[in-house]
Structure 1
Amino acid sequence: MSNRIEASPPVAALLVAAGRGLRAGAGEPKQYRQVDGRPVLAHALAPFLAQPVIDRVVVVIGEGDEERYAGAIAGLDRARLAKPTLGGTTRQDSVRRGLLALAQDGFNGIVLVHDAARPFVSPAQIGAAIRALGNDALAAIPALPVTDTIKRTDERGYVVETPPRDRLVSVQTPQAFRLGPLLAAHDAAEAASLHGFTDDAALMEWAGHAVVTFPGDPANIKLTHPEDFLRTGALAGKALVTRVGTGYDVHAFGPGDHVWLGGVRIDHDRGVTAHSDGDVALHALTDALLGALADGDIGTHFPPSDPQWRGARSAQFLAFAAARVRERGGRIDHLDLTIVCEAPKVGPHREAMRVAIAAAAAITPERVAIKATTSERMGFTGRREGLAALATATIRLPEEA
Structure 2
Amino acid sequence: MADNGMIVTRVGFGEDSHAFVRDLVSLQAEHNVSVLSADYITLAGAKINTPLKLQANSDGDVVLHAVCRALQTLSGREVLGEIADKRVQAGHFDSAYFVNLALQDLYAQTSTVYRCWRNLYISQIALQIEAAAPKLSPYYAEMKSNIVRIFNSSPVTTEYPLTVEQVGISAMSGEGLTAVGSGKGIAVRALVTVCTEIEM
TM-score of the superposed pair, with normalisation by structure 2: 0.74
Task: Specify every segment of 5 or more residues in structure 2 that has no aligned partner in the other structure, as ranges.
Answer: 25-36, 111-117, 153-161
CA distance 1:379–1:299, change in 2 (3 Å): same
2:69·2:80 contact (CA, 8 Å) conserved in 1? no
Match of 1:343 among 133, 138, 161: 133
- Give the Cα separation in 2 of the matches to 1:323 and 1:240: 21
State the match for 2:103 in structure 1.
322
CA RMSD of aligned residues (A): 2.3
Structure 1 residue 273: deviation in Å? 1.0
- Give the Cα separation in 2 of the matches to 1:348 and 1:304: 32
2:186 is aligned with 1:396: no
State the match for 1:244 in structure 2.
11
CA distance 1:383–1:399, change in 2 (3 Å): same
State the match for 1:280 in structure 2.
62
State the match for 2:185 in structure 1.
386
CA distance 1:351–1:378, change in 2 (3 Å): same
- Give the Cα separation in 1 of the matches to 2:87 and 2:133: 30
Alignment-mate amino acid for residue 281 of structure 1: V
- Give the Cα separation in 2 of the matches to 1:340 and 1:365: 21
Alignment-mate amino acid for residue 385 of structure 1: K
SS in 1 for 2:42: strand
User: Would you say how many aligned residue pairs link Structure 1 and Structure 2?
Assistant: 167
Alignment-mate amino acid for residue 150 of structure 2: A
- Give the Cα separation in 1 of the matches to 2:86 and 2:177: 32
1:325·1:331 contact (CA, 8 Å) conserved in 2? no
- Give the Cα separation in 1 of the matches to 2:9 and 2:68: 18
2:65·2:95 contact (CA, 8 Å) conserved in 1? yes
Alignment-mate amino acid for residue 284 of structure 1: A
Identity of aligned residues (%): 31
CA distance 1:400–1:343, change in 2 (3 Å): farther
Task: Specify every segment of 5 or more residues in structure 1 that has no aligned partner in the other structure, as ranges.
Answer: 1-34, 38-236
- Per-residue Cα deviation, 1:162-193 (whole angstroms, up to 9, x for no partner): xxxxxxxxxxxxxxxxxxxxxxxxxxxxxxxx
SS in 2 for 1:271: coil
Match of 1:259 among 41, 45, 54: 41
Match of 1:352 among 142, 147, 150: 142
Which structure has more RCO (C-alpha within 8 Å, separation ≥ 6)?
Answer: 2
2:174·2:182 contact (CA, 8 Å) conserved in 1? no
Structure 1 residue 400: deviation in Å? 7.9
Match of 2:72 among 281, 286, 290: 290
Match of 2:167 among 358, 362, 368: 368
Structure 1 residue 272: deviation in Å? 1.0
2:84 is aligned with 1:303: yes
1:275·1:310 contact (CA, 8 Å) conserved in 2? no
State the match for 2:159 in structure 1.
none
- Per-residue Cα deviation, 1:84-119 (whole angstroms, up to 9, x for no partner): xxxxxxxxxxxxxxxxxxxxxxxxxxxxxxxxxxxx
Structure 1 residue 364: deviation in Å? 1.3
SS in 2 for 1:334: strand
Alignment-mate amino acid for residue 353 of structure 1: M
- Give the Cα separation in 2 of the matches to 1:289 and 1:317: 10
- Per-residue Cα deviation, 1:223-244 (whole angstroms, up to 9, x for no partner): xxxxxxxxxxxxxx44331111
Structure 1 residue 299: deviation in Å? 2.3
Q: Which has the larger radius of gyration?
A: 1
